[in-house]
Structure 1
């Protein structure tokens, strides 16, 4: 199941500032996709209470949550919000415990127990504890923290690879270890510093994790985290284990791109404009016969269009098919000449030809 944290992790992206209107539109889009949980922001964030009220009963089956540091004062603030879950962050590496919190391991355990108990006493039924910087922590101590969280009433433990250091293999091993030790829900939060976030998240879910964090376009601190659109599409179209409404993903990604000031590469998985574009002669010819030969799924499933163009890499079959789509057919000799002209012009322009440019070549 997916926890979308575009409005918490994503909002921490350098230079990203979401207006209230943008935040409401992102939530509406996520609700239409059917993500399982939306992390709306962090305790103390400006406008958070207003956003929660604006969503109201529109949430349907989607759970709403907020993030909080491991402090009782912040827990009390969170209790005043009409959300379903609270995600408490607690660092488990000695580097963070010592240099950031200025306490020792025993002090951390005491603080965690006190904070989770306070949350439960304040009526929060679903408390999630995020183990931050897990990949640099002492594994035995991290397990001890997770076990304590479970013992004092947490409903979920979230494993955070805060610096994106894990590989899929290591992720699978880590999930298996914690899954064996716990009876409560298990989630992962995978950063993308080495480009493995989505792969690690998929691996974690396949290995028994109940939830995976993600954000639209994968935006977040530094290189960001696993991408919502990639996970939702994979789980729906490839694994067929979920039924997210993936036809709405691309429009929402493009809105987030504009709102956050993050351009979408034209080859970006799921969201890019050219992911179903083809110029190569062999592939273009094959697509004309059987699209599934070189496409992982029908473009229409995600609201995309197939685009086949001729250019410097096109052969006779591809050019002939392009003409056939226009109801045209040329003799072999003229077709050979046209192929040469298509390649020549494409190399001069350094791109495939447009429909108008191809038509002009044919007319000439």
Structure 2
């Protein structure tokens, strides 16, 4: 098809098409690297930063500078690449962390503190007032040095909501540029996400960020709902990598924003290529049924589906593979009927008479490889074989 997008008019009429004021902050280079067993090299981090910038991601969280000298050097190098994206880094509510961020020439520093009872008791062994005071001191120091500041409430989703509101309101007095709700353990659902973001938005004027983890498999859905409730900055990672079960998936969120809300700001045609790079650099294989970039995202085997796809791809595809830099794959397997097989054979450039087609379908059904689906090369070998007899 010439177009890479299907008509928005074909969406079901209950889908919300209201405009959203959003930006993407991709945290692959920081939170993504906290995936067990993952450590990106300097060149890999720079390459991923360049790719994210080319897609149109507005903010790239490049790392956690205080972790090591090499981490600090890489963050500084990314900050000075001249990218269109703003470069962000992470800092605890500690002056030394903020100084490391200042040294890196970043645009934004994300200063975090946890205020949930659980973290106060077992991690900090301090009162909420004490840890909040530390955070405000770090924020003031960062603002005095000209940095934009994101005040992030770690474990926000297990923090008393009134405590959270008061903290964000107080942070506004220090002129923070963002307040961030971190669902650190992935406890949110779409309903609770909408409620929490809506409640915070009632009392703060500062742009709200949402940072979701995927422990219940809802990180992308929660992030989309947060945007619909008024969150501005949406946090993602490529392929949804991250601690434990990972973060909200960049590719899933960008496509959802485009399909559900008509947001075409981002170059989604690069999603498959950046996904493959992340897979290579991280050593983490992508699930074949992963939405948008999985091997099976545009693969069809069922005879009824294949016949319809050959006639009109929209019958069984929400969006085109070209829209995300992917390819359609029609698989011959045990569910493939004669009509669908004929269409696939014709699509490969072959013509078979009725007897040859019957012979081919018989070979396909009895082939030991059929369980996994036949490759194009194996099918062509079979076609040549039945034509030669």
- Please classify the TM superposition score into its range, dividing by the shorter chain length: over 0.9
The answer on whether the counterparts of 1:161 and 1:189 sit within 8 Å (CA) in structure 2 is yes
1:303-345: CA deviation from partner (whole Å, max 9, x where unpaired): 11111122210112101212323241323x5544433332222
Partner of 1:350: helix, strand, or coil?
Answer: helix
The answer on whether the counterparts of 2:35 and 2:244 sit within 8 Å (CA) in structure 1 is yes
User: Of residues 315, 335, 360 in structure 2, which corresponds to 1:338?
Assistant: 360
Distance 1:341 1:359 in 2: 10
Match of 2:54 in 1: 32
Partner of 2:182: helix, strand, or coil?
Answer: strand
Structure 2 length normalisation: TM-score?
Answer: 0.88
Partner of 1:100: helix, strand, or coil?
Answer: helix
Q: Structure 1 stretches of 5 or more lacking a match?
A: none
Shift of 1:53: 4.3
Match of 1:352 in 2: 373
Distance 1:209 1:348 in 2: 49
Match of 2:89 in 1: 66
**Is the aligned partner of 1:249 residue 2:271?**
yes
**Is the aligned partner of 1:171 residue 2:193?**
yes
Distance 2:140 2:52 in 1: 31
1:1-364 correspondence runs (5 A) = 1-46=23-68, 47-55=70-78, 58-124=81-147, 126-325=148-347, 326-331=349-354, 335-345=357-367, 349-354=370-375, 355-360=379-384, 362-363=386-387, 364=389
The answer on whether the counterparts of 2:151 and 2:176 sit within 8 Å (CA) in structure 1 is yes
Partner of 1:267: helix, strand, or coil?
Answer: coil
The answer on whether the counterparts of 1:112 and 1:149 sit within 8 Å (CA) in structure 2 is no
Over the aligned positions, Cα root-mean-square deviation in angstroms equals 1.8
Name the CA shift for 1:280/1:357 in 2 (closer, same or farther; >3 Å): farther
Name the CA shift for 1:111/1:54 in 2 (closer, same or farther; >3 Å): closer
Distance 1:250 1:320 in 2: 30
Distance 1:200 1:17 in 2: 27
1:40-95: CA deviation from partner (whole Å, max 9, x where unpaired): 10131332443244335544431101100011221122222211100011102011
Q: Structure 2 stretches of 5 or more lacking a match?
A: 1-22
1:182-214: CA deviation from partner (whole Å, max 9, x where unpaired): 101100000001100011011111111001111
Query: How many residues end up aligned between the 2 structures?
Result: 361
Deviates more, 1:72-81 or 1:163-172: 72-81
Name the CA shift for 1:54/1:71 in 2 (closer, same or farther; >3 Å): closer
